[in-house]
Every structure is written in structure tokens, then in C-alpha cells.
Chains A and B, each alone.
Chain A
Amino acid sequence: MTDFDAIIIGGGHNGLVCAGYLAKAGKKVLVLEARSVPGGCAATNEFVPGFKVSNCAQWLYQLSPAIIKDFKLKSHGLSFAAENLATIALDASENHLRISGDSLEGAGISSEDHENFRVFRRKMRKYAKLMQSAYEARPPKLVEHDWRDKFTMAKLGLGMKGLGKDDMSDLMRLILINIFDVMNETFASEQLRAALALDAVIGTPMGPRSPNTVFTYLHRFFGETQGFTGVSQVAGGLGALGDALSQSVTALGVEVRCNQSVTSINKTHDKATGVTLASGENLSASMIVSSADPVTTFRTLLGYSNVETGFARRIEHIRTKSGTAKIHLALTALPNFKGLDEAALKQRLIIAPTMNDIERAFNALKYDECSDHPALDISIPTLNDPSLAPPGQHVLSAIVQYAPHSPKAGWDSLRETFLDRVIGEIERYAPGISDLVCGKELLTPSDLEADFGMTGGNWHHGELTMDQVLMTRPAHGATQYRTPINGLYLCGAGSHPGGGLMGLAGKNAAQEIIRLGDAA
């Protein structure tokens, strides 16, 4: 007899979601989380005494409403401090652009661009809807002729046909090209182009001119099919989402243990049998489901010596680069952004004046250097949620594009310089902000890797490129959440459909495991 039916490695949102669905199916499930709190990248941290911030993911914009409903997350404490925020693209001459759903305000946007924007979004919505049929199911394999996969492919095919001839051929054209070209051919306003291009590259080690960035744009846009027309802010920080999920699945009978770092996955012949913890404790289960990224799962936890070489080689080849850092500032007062009132500061602010600025920022990453003028995605969460800081004081959090995982000079010597550089960038739009800073923190890709166990610090657990999605995510031999090892499954962002606090990888994995039944 085993201790559990299933042990889930990693109590991030995907691990918890998978655990919850398995518990609903009657399984006895244990979740092992290495960090002190559940939630993984849905985390809140007090980075300066009295100042809290969502210290990994910053926004929520893709979480499946089905998951919110299935786990009654709202009754387990999930509430939104703000929903569907507008994006305000900052302009040095205070001619800011406000983007909210289909509407554009300011920045002297021409009437043609207003119309272009509506048309563009209508088309993107159609494409996102098409992706939805693939994202909400296991990825189809092409050669096995399984009827479920044929059904998914047929749905995709019908969806393609349903786009109409023009939109279908345009999708085929767009999907492999880059957001830079698409923006140039679609809009006249550089400010608008840059604002949308930032969405395509954020969280990726790609620049606007990199091929594949239309796909990453669509991946983010997929959130619209989940009911998000903008980013949302979780009350109490994203850790509250982790807590709500953890509470909910605990109520379903799942045991969630934190501070339990798994050091190895144990197996006999080709069947996974359990895990060993850092404490030396061994736990057994009839199946092990890893929400750790695939490289960590196979290289570190299982060991390449335990899988066949071709498979090990494919896992080792998964590209897991990141160019994304986080910066957190504790502020003694609300900063003054030129030309923005308090209501505006509650929104999502971005600094990415032109696509060339983003591209230049990206150039540095290619040589493992930090951007001179990084592009920023800023949140002042305390305006929507004062509980995050002492009264009257504020927190500023920003996603920073681009910072390398391993700069040649090493992060020790660069950390302060880069922090100051980022603050300097914000200072151009918010004069005097540096005088308000009473605490600061930079999380580089290598910090995020160390704290959240993501290889390379890549927040998708493996880059979202055309060769690493759908039936090739994470790699041949580990698609459809199964692995070469019987009883070992994957349920994290490294599996289809990828990361972004969506929960679908965990959900799809659970469905697949439940469907396999006794064969699992």
C-alpha cells in the first residue's frame, strides 16, 4: 500500500488545481511545496517591514473562470482589489495613451487608428477563441490516431474554417512573423504600437522584431476568452490566490504541506513510486505529478540517468531563457506621475515609448547584459489595496524587460546599479520618486529561479515558442502530461498550454490522469 494515491510536487497554482481535481475524483492527494507558503508564483511577500507585494507574478489576466467556480475561490477568500484595469502608456510630454478594452484615449490617436484598433482586436478575439479550443484540452498528438486528438484537431480545423478565408490566411501569415511588422502594418501611432508590442514580449526573452512574438501576443490575449479585458489585481496580493486555492483543495481533502522540498523522485524499473524530501523522509504514492518545470523534474528530481538518452537530450534542449526581472519599491508617499491623477495611477502603467526602444532594450539581453533603458510594466498596488503598506505609504512594483539570468559581471556587482537605473527610468515620468524610496528590491531571473524553482527564471517553465507549444510542449515523449516513466505525470506551466496564472495545465493534467483511470 502506498501513503497516497497521488503526490503533487509543487504547490503552485497548477499543482493545487491538479490536486483539487484529483481529490474531487476521489483520490487521496498530498501536495509538497518547497516554499513556506502555497501558491508558487501566485505569491505575496513583505519585502520591507510593513510593505507587501506580489513578488513573482504581478497581475492576473488569464485565470480560468471555470477554476474560480469549481474551487469556489471567492468563498475561500479570493477577491479582486481591481478588475480589468486600463493600460496607460506613459509619454514624456504627458500625452499619455489610455487603452481600455476596445477603446483608446489620448495621445492624439487618429480616427483611423481607433477603427484599426477595434478591427485588430476583433480579429485577435477570433484567433484567441480558436486557441481556446486547443488550450482547454490536452494537446493533440498527430500520428497516434487517437479519437480524442482527432476531435481536438477537427475542432481546431473547423475553428480555422470558421474564421473565414481572409482571417484564416492572415492567421497563417501572422503566427510565425513578429509583432513589430504587424504593428507597423496595422497602426499609425507609434505609442500604440509600442504599448501592444510590450504585451507580446513581456515574460519572454524576445524583442518586438523576434519571430514568434505574434504567438506570444495571442497567448497573452487568450485571457480575453477567460473574461479578462485587462489586468486584474488580487486583494492582499497574488499570495491570496495561492491561499484561496490551498484552502479550497484542503477542504476537498487534499493535504498541503509547505516547507517540504522534494529532492528526488523514486522509481523501480520504469514506475515512479514516491519521493524523497530534503529531510530524508520517503513518501510513497501510486502516482507522482510534478508541477515543477520539466528540466527540474527530469534533470534534478528524477535524474537523466533514469530516462533514455534521446528523451533526456530533448529535455536538456528545452529553451528556458528569461529576460524578465521584477523590481519592488517601498515609497513613503504616493509618487507624482506627470499628467496622471490618482485614478490613473490605479491602472497599469507602462514605459515603452517606441518599439525601437523595446528592441534596443532587448539588444542588451542578447549579450547577457542589462538594458540601458528597460521597458517597464508598473503597478502601484497600494492604491487599489491600501492593506499592502502602512497608511499613506505605497508600494510600486514593476516587471522589467530586460535583464539577463547570468550577466557576465555577475549580479552582485550590478544589482545596485541596475536598481538605480530602473528607478531613474521611472523618475523621468515621476520626478522626485527616488526621494520617496524607503526600501527596494530587485528580483533578477536568477533570483526568481532560486526562489520559485523555475529553470532559467522563465515564468512559463520553458519558452513559449512555436517549437515548444501544443504537441511539442514540453518535448516529445512528455506531451499530454505523461512521461516515459509510468506513474509520473507533469501538470505545470511547462506543459500545454503554458504559464501565466491560467491553471489550465493543472486542470488538463488532472482530466487526463482521471481519464486514464486505473491505467494511470
Chain B
Amino acid sequence: MNTANRATMMLETPFHSRVKELCQINDWGNWMGFTTPNAFFDVELEYFAVRSTTGVFDLSPMNKYRITGPDAEAYLNKMVTRNVSKIGLNRVGYTVWCNDAGQVMDDGTIFRLGPNDFRLCSYQRATDWLLWCAMGFDVSISDETDHLAALAVQGPTSCTTLTQMGLHDLNTLKPFGMREYDFEGEKLMISRTGFTGDLGYEVWVSPERAEPLWDQLFEAGRDYLIKPFGSYALDIARIETGFIQAGVDFVPAEEMVRPGRTRSPFELGLDWLVDLEKPLFNGRKSLIAEKEKGSRYRFAILNIDGNKPADHSFILKGDQQIGTVTSAAWCPTAKSNIAFAQLEMPEGGVGQEYVAEIYYQRELHWTRVLAPCRVLDGPIFNPKRRRQTPAIPH
């Protein structure tokens, strides 16, 4: 039974007592069965906290798996498309993994905690697949989801806030690096990662230290206008910065019912994550074949005229429908109307111009807008501060 598709929100995260207090408008959503806020007080203001000061997002429901044992690196190298050997100690790598048909099952991040000690964060529940992949490997796999609480602390003042909280010299931590600090008699792990495309960190503690972490963080960030944000604000931020989401921008391959509805990494614009030089990984044969034969679809980031978000729009070339939109948002910082689209090959080259067929309703009246749009050559929001080390103080 997949709890993600059920209306029940039976679970609460270790931060729930604090989240509940700040969730002024009671707009709750379901994330893998966890009760999580869609919004705390105002989606746009929450979004602007991320872009202008510091936003805090509870990502405890994220599935976390610990993979250890002599074959841990070899195991992950077979499971995921990128070369895990290139992820250094105390470094984090974003990756996807595929089934044998080379279709993306999920995306996530790999944290290298030791030579053969990894943490994998995934969108989907993955125990079943992780165990199948373990056949023939000397690894042990455990689900750490309930043993780790995590907060994303994102935005220009995030480094300053966390330093204020006592994480000294945090500004020297490089993007995709991680580091441990003492916290309340335990270890706190912090990684310079996130889903907003901004300067930002993710902070990992035991569930017992979750409430002290939240309290100390908000105390430290008070002067830096720290605010919690919910999944709606996160959605705007991730679209603005070009991050796809499992279950939204692609159907997890092993959940697909209708043939042809899944996507390969190439079709999601993730070529850079696929290392075909690796001797073996799930999907390799199919992906090599796809390279030769050509992909069916191309992932495109579209800049659409006007300010009507192009949710679920058809993309037209003349009279012909050549694709559909999977994610769309008006992006306030970029001041652009952005959409992710799946376009039929060979469409979707950078600079190509199409029309988005947008439908929206005002007071029971449906209106259609045919908005010209153009394929961008990458994410529209990509600030320098996201990568700068040492992180600049605010």
C-alpha cells in the first residue's frame, strides 16, 4: 500500500509541535503519510523568506536509507546512474536511478559518510528496490527515515543564522559538502544542499534533538527574519531554479501502469547524471540503445509570456500539439512565467518558440490563453551566492 496516494495523514514529524504552532492558516498536506504544511501563513511571503532572508522547511518525511558494508560503493554504482566513486568523503551527490528499461524510478541524494558508508535520500519508499538491488552484494541496508529529523535552512541569511546558532566557520563549507557539529550532547550533521537553488543547508539531527534545534534556530534567526515555509513555496522555488520532482515531472518507473508513460534520464534533461562508462548499472543497456536510437522526448524549461501559470498546458507548434507541461509557476524573483515541459523529439531545442495553451477559470468562467513561449537554455534563477565559498555574510 502506497501511503503517498492516500488521503490519511497519520504521521507527524519530530518538529510537529513547532510546525503546528506556526501553521497559522492550517493548510496541511500529505507527504508520504506525514502531516506537513502546504503553507504557514502566506505562500508568497514564505517564498520571499527563502529568496531574501532565511526559510525553514521540515524535510523529515524524506525517505532516508543507510547503506553500509564492504560492497556499499559497488552496490550504489550498480543501482544509480552516476559514478558514486567520484563522490568524495563527506560529500553529497544528486542522482537518479532507473529500472532495467532505463526509465527513471526516482531521484535523490547520496551522502558519503565513509569509504563504504552512505545515506541515500529518496522521494519514493525504496526498501523493496534497495533490497532487490542488494542481491549478490555484501551490504546491509536500513531505513533511517524515523531515526533522523531534518530541516532545510535556505536563503541568503541562512549561513549567518546557522553560524549565529553556534555552527562556527560554516561559511567555509562548500556546496555539496557536509560536516558534523556538536549539538546538545549529540552530533548534528549539516550539508550544504537544498531544493531551492539558493544558498542553503540541510541540518540532520536525532528526533530527540528536533525541538531544541528548531527553537535554537528560530532564536538565532530572529534578527535575520527567519520564517518557516511550506511545500507550495518550495514548489515555486524549485521550479524557478529548474529542479524536477518525482511524481510530478515524471512517473516513477515501477509505479507506471500505462506503457510509454515513463521517462529516461535523457528525456528529463539529466544526461549529466548518466555515466555510460561505468561497466554496469541498472538501465545501462537500454540507455546505450536510447543514445543510438534517439530519445522520444526532450525536457524543456519554457519562458511563457504573460503571468498565467501554464499548469497542465498543451504546448503547440502551429496546430500541432507537441508536448505538455508538467510543472509551472509564476516565479517572483526571476519575474518570469516558467514551465517545465515534455516535448516530442526533435522539438525543444534552445530558443525554439511555441505556444502554450493555458486554461484558467475565473468565477466559473473558463478562459483559454494562447501564450507564446520560448525554450530557455537552463534554469532562470541561478545566483552566485548559491555556490560562493566562503558563503557571503548578510
Contacts and interface: CB of A to CB of B under 8 A. Distances in A.
A306 B135 contact: no
B129 A308 contact: no
B135 A308 contact: no
B129 A309 contact: yes
Given A270-B285, A477-B100, A309 B279 contact: no
Interface residues of A, number: 18
Interface in A459-486: 477, 484
Interface in A303-355: 303-313, 316
A308 B135 CA distance: 10
Given A270-B279, A305-B78, A312 B284 contact: no
A305 B136 contact: yes
| Chain B interface helix/strand/loop/mixed | loop
Identify the interface centre among B135, B283, B285: most chain A CB within 10 Å of its CB: B135
Contacts of B280: 269-270, 306-308
Nearest to A269: B279
Contacts of B135: 299, 304-305, 309, 312-313, 316
B133 to A, nearest CB: 5
Given A305-B137, A312-B136, A484 B285 contact: yes
Contact of A309 (B74, B132, B285): B132
B99 interface: yes
Contacts of A307: 280
A477 B99 CA distance: 13
Interface string B372-391: 00000000000000000000
A312 B135 CA distance: 8
A305 B100 contact: no
Nearest to B102: A308
A312 B132 contact: yes
B136 A306 contact: yes
Contact of B132 (A268, A299, A313): A313
B275 interface: no
A306 B281 CA distance: 9
| Chain A interface helix/strand/loop/mixed | helix
Interface residues of B, number: 21
A270 B285 CA distance: 9
Nearest to B71: A305
Nearest to B286: A308
Contacts of B100: 308-311, 477
Given A305-B74, A305-B78, A310 B136 contact: no
Contact of B282 (A270, A303, A306, A309): A309
A91 to B, nearest CB: 51
Contacts of B281: 308
A373 B78 CA distance: 50
A311 B132 CA distance: 10
B79 interface: yes
B282 A310 contact: yes
Interface string B164-186: 00000000000000000000000
A488 B283 CA distance: 19
Nearest to B279: A269
A312 B78 CA distance: 12
B244 to A, nearest CB: 23
Interface in B281-295: 281-285
A308 B285 CA distance: 9
A503 to B, nearest CB: 32
A269 B101 CA distance: 18
Nearest to B99: A310
A249 B79 CA distance: 43
B285 A304 contact: no
A307 B137 CA distance: 12
Nearest to A313: B132
19 contacts: A269-B280, A270-B279, A304-B135, A305-B71, A305-B74, A305-B135, A305-B136, A305-B137, A307-B280, A308-B100, A308-B281, A308-B284, A308-B285, A309-B78, A309-B79, A309-B100, A310-B101, A310-B282, A311-B100
Given A305-B136, A308-B283, 12 more contacts: A268-B279, A269-B279, A269-B280, A305-B71, A305-B74, A308-B100, A308-B285, A309-B78, A309-B100, A309-B135, A312-B136, A313-B135
